[in-house]
Amino acid sequence: MPWSVLPDGVAVSVRATPRGGRDAIDGVVRLSDGRAVLKARIAVAAEDGKANAALARLLAGAAGVPGSSVTLTQGAAGRLKTFRLKGDPAAIIARLEALTGAQ
């Protein structure tokens, strides 16, 4: 799965597509190295952190947590990113599973 449980939330691995036409989570995909990631697209271009901020807002809405509970922990300049979502891990994972159909 593209997420893992942390003591105070969940870490989520994301493959971002900036200028993707709209903000959306398109499910779970496997990378060539076998890792599972959440596939997401963002309408804005990747400049001045705008795409990262939009992606954080998208994840917050999808997981049902406030935007202030989402932190980018890895991959600020790349397509592969890791976000930390603070909150109840079981509730966050349940929402992400329902959204992506992953279990």
Domains of the chain: 3-100 (3.30.1200.10)
* pLDDT tens digits along 36-86: 999 999 998 888 888 999 999 999 999 989 999 999 999 988 899 999 999
Question: CA 71 to CA 38: how far, in whole Å?
Answer: 16
8 A C-beta contact, residue 13 and residue 35: yes
Six-digit token string for 62: 């999808």
Query: In 3-state terms, what secondary structure has residue 11?
Result: strand
CA 75-65-10 angle, to 5 degrees, is 50
- If you average pLDDT over residues 93-101, what whole number do you get? 87
Residue 103, pLDDT score? 54
The Cβ of residue 38 has, within 10 Å, a number of other Cβ atoms equal to 26
